[in-house]
Structure 1
Amino acid sequence: MDDLILTIGDKNLSSWSLRPWLLLTQAGIPFTEDNIRLDRPETRGILSEKSPSGLVPFLTHGDVKIWDSLAIMEYLNELFPEKQLWPEDPKARAIARSVSAEMHSGFAALRTVWPMMFTREGMRHLNAGGVQRDVNRINDLWTKCRKEYGNGGDFLFGKFSIADAMYAPVVSRFVTYGPVALSPEASAWRDMMFALPAMKAWGDGARKEISA
């Protein structure tokens, strides 16, 4: 099999890059990381030359390039069925896909008002522009997944899945802009996710980039 190359942006800022990177890392899938620094004079030229969409992330696999984080993760699920990157149960899998799609297309207020700054904590907690409605909805989703599909495991659907990776940047945002009031189930999942070795490794990378 050809090597997998994941091209990402700055680890402190690029929430969409975090998602497939975390999935690959947490699932133990070998890949090569290629980093394009954002918001620099040369960034636009590099992206227009290398990226199919002019954005990050994108996955290169032989002569194929897959852009869009969710499409990348679906592709990885097909390449590595033994990793079970979606829940095995059809009903749980449908819900996992639904909550992932909602993250993919929704929560515009949260994204706009609370941009990801992975290395920051304790920033001002602004709920303007519909942020609180987004927080409430996310809390409901995490709580429902943990209560109804957690099956005694640590993750949203018991075992680690694409759904966990999709919400990883929200975990970071809740740390940066918190404290955020969450249910006991949602709080426990948030804290567990932020303590994952893969998330810590991403944070270490972010801090190295900032200090470089």
Structure 2
Amino acid sequence: MSKLVIFDLDDTLLCADSEFHFTKYIVKQGMLDKDFYLEKIKAFDKDYRSGNLNFNDYMRFLLYPLIGKTKKEVDLLVTSFINSSKDILIDDLTFELLEKHKKDDLLIASGALDFIVQGFANYFGVDEFIGTKTEFVEGKVTGETTGEPNFDKGKLVHVSEWCRNKKLNLEMATFYTDSIHDLPLVEKCKNSIVVSPDERLKKHA
């Protein structure tokens, strides 16, 4: 009998942070100034680790070089990024986990931007995913997100809604994550498995 298995993406299915490496890739493509990127990413990383990250400001920073691009252009960029970065971001543990749960109902739920989550979901052959929604107006990226970010309590809200629509029991799900920001979902799921947890999540493991 299949069960629901939920995966966080960054530092769980992946060995590192997808958006960090995506932004590095954008810098290499000449789409973002290197010095500007380094200054901003260090500040955001400091805020994230201290629990003071302004998530919306971080999303705007990530989306800035994509303003005006179509979904097709963004998807092609993500595909190229994944192909060039997969040896850094993906290891054997990823495929072992996916193989272990191949007969289960799988969901990748990440705070990362939805087009990045979708790109990795497609690469892994996982049909269902939830990410932070990118706003498109007249088919082009505006530089903003839409709806509640899929982050912290927002992830619990979105995953709960997804489960209701699919008529699946969230409380009986298995959830893999590394981050303290997933604590609301960790506490909701009966079987939460921490993967290389950060120091704050270790206290709850």
TM > 0.5 fold call: no
